[in-house]
């Protein structure tokens, strides 16, 4: 009986060992098969040449990849077309146009016309029922000058050449500013400006809306002109600019 039990026990151990070996072998084979499948699915070779995309961007879109080398965009390349150039550059910093190196043609210094009270002249616009002193107290006092009358842009000419002036359209207390109705002027209207050097009549040449950072209308000029600028209610980034040139004798 003891020998029979030993035989049966040994047979069971052998059977279990053989089963474990089979399981391990099947697991190994399964792992190899899976690795081969992963290696063959979803992997495509990156093309080494230019390809074309027929997707949402159309049928003839060139795709550039690293094998083609760096892309160089030549902005100065000749396209065969003439590029129009603006005769004047938009200037947001008045110091770049208002300095002694840019004074060309006629230019009268403020000191030549300035009165003891800071007045430099009188601006008269009959259409607006306006005749007001123009003041120049320097760069830091334009707002103060506009509270008294019309302010002169300090670095523009005070008489010969380009005279630049500014006034409120609406004063800080809500009352009407001197230039409230400046926008109603039109080409051909007359403006008079007088200083201790004399009096000139000007004819309105243009009425325009400009950017608040556009100082180009105040460039120095060889001919005599006066430029009047004011704010536009509800448009803080824009200004009304009226340019009038000296009336021919």
Per-residue pLDDT 10s for the chain (249 aa) are 555 545 555 555 656 666 666 666 666 666 656 566 555 544 444 444 433 333 333 444 344 444 544 444 343 444 444 434 334 444 445 555 555 555 555 788 888 999 888 899 999 999 999 999 999 877 667 888 888 899 999 889 999 999 999 999 999 889 999 999 999 999 999 999 999 999 999 999 999 999 999 989 998 888 999 999 999 999 999 999 999 999 987
8/225 Cα distance (integer angstroms): 125
**Which uninterrupted H or E stretch holds 246?**
strand 238-246
pLDDT for position 208:
95
pLDDT for position 95:
52
pLDDT for position 227:
97
* Dihedral in degrees, nearest 10, Cα atoms 129, 176, 230, 152: 70
Among the four given CATH numbers 4.10.640.10, 2.40.260.10, 3.40.50.150, 3.30.70.1150, the one describing domain 96-246: 2.40.260.10
Cβ neighbours for 226, distance < 8 A, ≥ 6 positions apart: 123, 162, 163, 164, 165, 191, 193, 202, 243, 244
Q: Would the CA dihedral through 14, 18, 23, 27 be positive or negative?
A: positive
pLDDT for position 103:
55
This prediction has a pTM of 0.60
């Amino acid at each position: 009986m003891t020998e029979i039990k030993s035989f049966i026990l040994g047979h069971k151990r052998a059977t279990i060992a053989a089963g474990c070996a089979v399981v391990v072998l099947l697991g190994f084979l399964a792992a190899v098969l899976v690795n081969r499948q992963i290696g063959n699915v979803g992997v495509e070779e990156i093309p080494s040449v230019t390809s074309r995309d027929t997707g949402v961007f159309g049928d003839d879109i060139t795709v550039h990849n690293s094998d083609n080398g760096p892309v160089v965009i030549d902005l100065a390349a000749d396209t065969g077309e003439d590029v129009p150039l603006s005769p004047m550059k938009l200037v947001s910093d008045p110091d770049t146009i208002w300095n002694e190196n840019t004074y060309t043609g006629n230019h009268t210094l403020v000191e030549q016309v300035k009165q003891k009270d800071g007045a430099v002249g009188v601006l008269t616009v009959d259409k607006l029922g306006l005749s007001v002193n123009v003041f120049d107290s320097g760069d830091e006092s334009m707002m103060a000058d506009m509270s008294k009358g019309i302010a002169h842009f300090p670095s523009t000419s005070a008489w010969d050449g380009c005279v630049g002036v500014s006034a409120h359209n609406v004063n800080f207390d809500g009352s009407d500013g001197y230039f409230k109705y400046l926008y109603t002027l039109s080409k051909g209207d007359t403006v008079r400006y007088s200083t201790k050097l004399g009096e000139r009549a000007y004819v309105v040449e243009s009425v325009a809306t400009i950017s608040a950072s556009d100082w180009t209308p105040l460039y120095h000029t060889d001919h005599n002109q006066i430029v009047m600028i004011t704010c536009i209610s509800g448009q803080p980034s824009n200004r009304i600019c009226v340019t009038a040139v000296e009336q021919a004798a």
